[in-house]
Structure 1
Amino acid sequence: MAASDGTVIIGGGLAAAHAVQTLREHGYPRSITVIADEAMAPYERPPLSKDFLQGKQEAEAAIVHPADWYAEHDVTLLLGEHAASIDRAGHTVALASGTEIPYGQLLLATGADARRLHLQGADLPGVLTLRRIGDAENLKTVFAAGGRLVVVGAGWIGLEVAASAKQAGMDVTVVAPSSTPLGSVLGEEIGAHFADLHSSHGVHLRLGLQVTAILEADGRAAGVETSDGEVPADVVLLAVGATPAVELAEAAGLATDNGVLVDAALRTSDPDILAAGDVANAENTELGRLRVEHWDNAIRQGQLAAKTILGHTDRYDWQPYFFTDQFDLGMEYVGHAGPEAQTVIRGDLEEGEFIAFWVEDGVLTAAMNVNIWDVNDTLRALLGRAVEVERLADEDVPLDQL
């Protein structure tokens, strides 16, 4: 690696922002260039489905560092620029504008794109997705106009937008093939709790249904056709997951499989190229290979990628963490539970304040605190321990004594 060739980062999200910050905080002396294809400085995405949509936060509040921060830290920030290709042999990134940028180390923080459905009518005006700030601005306009919204998908984004839309006064229907929301992540019992939450706030749930087409009227989306009839709407949101943005990596010949394959230090099959955040399918030293699409992971992996570039020996060894806010429910989840895990409840589901534990072969693998705060670090410390189910459920046993 030539001494003059520093680090180039492709991406405009949390992983990119925290990689830059960590490099400079640790005295990285070489050049840093960030290539982001959006016009806004690298920002975090959780507010897009919650506070920004609800009018509680302006778009600028999601920016990790203002644009002048990059200049103050001797970082070249290229906004609205698209990285078109990577020349691994020549150690350069070609921009769509024709410029070539040399690198010594390259970090791919390209994130993920909203998954589209290959259905009749899926490209009609009025069919939206949510992944970027522009998508959120479109949805905010929809909220202001009011009317009927159909959300296709009952995952995190779908439910968060459904809650935000209902609070904005829209008539909201969630359509999904699963029998309960979030069942594949949280299991049937906790999934049913989220279903009750939404139903109690007036969201219509049409579960166990396949969407077979987008209805059309006057050249726009007019609802969805399902395996059990039509659901009319003025706007349709497709919230059916995300696909890692691996096109650059694949074109460059890097190993990919549900993301860019990286080791526990986040290096790809090319030792001079790393990947972090939503695009990285990484080897976790405790849990095996994971691709995690959450805020906490993007921050931590951005920091880890920087430390790898700096020559540190840190590894991807932490448990996944995520959070959500829907209506009057706020929760934090830590760990990684399999589909066969036993769910144990401490507290009262009906009261809406409880802790859920997931146990596999007698070992605690995940935990979630719902409307109970300042306990997540304690729950994290319990993961991997063999704990009796009865003690987990017993509120008289303090968490720090499990």
Structure 2
Amino acid sequence: MAAETTDRAPYVIVGGGMVADAAARGIRSRDADARIVVLGEDADPPYTRPALSKKLWTDPDFTEADNDCGTASATGAEVRTSVRVTAVDTAARTVTTDGGDVFGYETLLLATGGRPKAGPVEDGERVISFRTAQDYRHLRRLAGEQRHVVVVGGSYIGTEIAAALIQNDTRVTLVTPDDVLGGSMFPPELALHFQRMFAGAGVTIRPGARMTGGEAHPSTVLVQLDHDGGPLTADALVLGLGIAPSTELAQAAGLAVDDGVVVDEFLRTSDPHVYAAGDVAQYPDRVLGTTRVEHVDNAKTMGQAVGELMAGRTEPHDHTPYFYSQVLGTRYEAVGTLDGTARTVQDWQSDDGVGGPGVVYYLDEESRVTGVLLWAVPDKTDEATAVLADRTPQDEGSLRGRITAG
């Protein structure tokens, strides 16, 4: 028998991140008065996650207070932090928390995001799997004063953290499995430029290496790599190994799960009263096909859409998200898949050549575009999406000049 319901709301959101904030705003845009309850496991109310590895490190006038989404004040939602939902009962339409509270819902959103993939050393005082605002504050305490931090992972979070630290009086060693930093995403010439950016800023790069073990001590961390001699000694270790979608609740509730919680074009799960959005949702994208996207544009746009859909919108979600990163004064944006081994058409549009403003088109075996990288080319993601949506074969003649930096 289901637990007795002690509280009920038309809208319950499980997860306290950017998706929850956007969803609350989407609900409120169509339902001015209904109660919204947000149950977040995070210790902080919704905040802008990208700033944790970028702007909070590089803009001295931007504070954590500025980074707060202001969800409760903007929407009237009841935002509860440090609450872990332990069970969803779709038959009774209830969720149960680790504190024993039971909330009934008419419509439920799973915005549970993902959890950092574990490394060979457990998190602790000097080891951080970077994900949350608490992790940001923790790393701030360990950084600066020429302390040495080892960052493991050469993708988005790893490179952003390495760039942030090196600009804040911290010695940095960046460990990446790529033979050249960024080589899994960028064509060889651009990857080499990318690596030189970091080396020029003072980052020590250990390419073609993986962390195999290590030990955390009260004042140091030892990091063992799979080659090149003995362990690295550092003041702190940051693991940026990506995330795995948090699907446990959905799976236990009997909802369809694959690479994430499976939803349709209306962001509904296999239960019509339960929706999912953000990092955790596997959805049908009109351009990308069935996919799951872990970037901020997806969190904001899908979050807004799912809130509106929960509150009565009838049009499906049809936005194809872009992603971006900003490191060492360079911003790049992209749509689709960036595969460093793919054939590319590179359209560099200044005398600087590779690394100056330009567009890289990634092609499959049938010469169709599968990814578009905009390197220092702002405000062109809609054009990039249109190129991606064109499934006809392309070549240098059809692609050069198609998207311009001006």
TM over 0.5: yes
Q: Which residue of structure 1 aligns with residue 169 of structure 2? A: 169
The 3 A distance-change label for structure 1 pair 187 and 246 is farther
Q: Which residue of structure 1 aligns with residue 78 of structure 2? A: 76
The 3 A distance-change label for structure 1 pair 248 and 372 is same
Q: Which residue of structure 2 aligns with residue 275 of structure 1? A: 276
Tell me if structure 1 keeps the 8 A contact 2:110–2:277.
Answer: yes
Q: Report the CA distance between 1:223 and its aligned residue.
A: 3.3
Q: Which residue of structure 2 aligns with residue 125 of structure 1? A: 125
**Amino acid paired to 1:140:** R
Q: Which residue of structure 2 aligns with residue 43 of structure 1? A: 47
Tell me if structure 2 keeps the 8 A contact 1:15–1:277.
Answer: yes
**Amino acid paired to 2:361:** F
Q: Report the CA distance between 1:41 and its aligned residue.
A: 2.2
Alignment partner of 2:56: what SS?
A: coil
| The 10-residue stretch of structure 1 (380-389 or 238-247) with the greater mean CA deviation from structure 2 | 380-389
Q: Report the CA distance between 1:106 and its aligned residue.
A: 0.4
Query: In structure 1, how many angstroms separate the alpha carbons of the residues matched to 2:165 and 2:9?
Result: 47
Structure 2: 5+ residue runs without aligned partners?
Answer: 1-7
Per-residue Cα deviation, 1:80-138 (whole angstroms, up to 9, x for no partner): 32222112111111122222111011000011111111x2x434531112111000011
Task: Provide the aligned length of Structure 1 versus Structure 2.
Answer: 390
1:322 aligns with 2:323: yes
Alignment partner of 1:380: what SS?
A: helix
Per-residue Cα deviation, 1:260-298 (whole angstroms, up to 9, x for no partner): 122222111212111100111222233222111100001
Query: In structure 2, how many angstroms separate the alpha carbons of the residues matched to 1:185 and 1:288?
Result: 20
Which residue, out of 7, 12, 36, partners 1:8? 12
The 3 A distance-change label for structure 1 pair 324 and 6 is same
Query: In structure 1, how many angstroms separate the alpha carbons of the residues matched to 2:281 and 2:88?
Result: 17
The 3 A distance-change label for structure 1 pair 127 and 53 is same
Per-residue Cα deviation, 1:47-77 (whole angstroms, up to 9, x for no partner): 0001113353211222222533343xxx222
1:185 aligns with 2:189: no
1:113 aligns with 2:115: yes
The 3 A distance-change label for structure 1 pair 370 and 337 is closer
**Amino acid paired to 2:209:** L
Per-residue Cα deviation, 1:312-352 (whole angstroms, up to 9, x for no partner): 33334333301111002111112335676422211144453
Q: Which residue of structure 2 aligns with residue 59 of structure 1? A: 64
**Amino acid paired to 1:166:** I
**Amino acid paired to 1:391:** G
Q: Report the CA distance between 1:208 and its aligned residue.
A: 1.2
Which residue, out of 343, 361, 366, partners 1:357? 361
**Amino acid paired to 1:384:** A
Q: Report the CA distance between 1:19 and its aligned residue.
A: 0.9
The 3 A distance-change label for structure 1 pair 19 and 217 is closer
| The 10-residue stretch of structure 1 (264-273 or 186-195) with the greater mean CA deviation from structure 2 | 186-195
Structure 1 vs Structure 2 CA RMSD: 2.4
Tell me if structure 2 keeps the 8 A contact 1:224–1:232.
Answer: no
Query: In structure 1, how many angstroms separate the alpha carbons of the residues matched to 2:356 and 2:232?
Result: 30
Q: Report the CA distance between 1:192 and its aligned residue.
A: 3.0
1:102 aligns with 2:104: yes
Q: Report the CA distance between 1:384 and its aligned residue.
A: 2.6
Tell me if structure 1 keeps the 8 A contact 2:9–2:103.
Answer: no
Aligned 1:132-143 pairs, distance under 5 A: 132-143=132-143
| The 10-residue stretch of structure 1 (239-248 or 184-193) with the greater mean CA deviation from structure 2 | 184-193
Alignment partner of 1:286: what SS?
A: coil
Tell me if structure 2 keeps the 8 A contact 1:6–1:104.
Answer: yes
The 3 A distance-change label for structure 1 pair 53 and 388 is same
Query: In structure 2, how many angstroms separate the alpha carbons of the residues matched to 1:61 and 1:29?
Result: 27
TM-score (structure 1 length as normaliser): 0.89
| The 10-residue stretch of structure 1 (335-344 or 166-175) with the greater mean CA deviation from structure 2 | 335-344
Q: Report the CA distance between 1:9 and its aligned residue.
A: 0.5
| The 10-residue stretch of structure 1 (201-210 or 302-311) with the greater mean CA deviation from structure 2 | 302-311
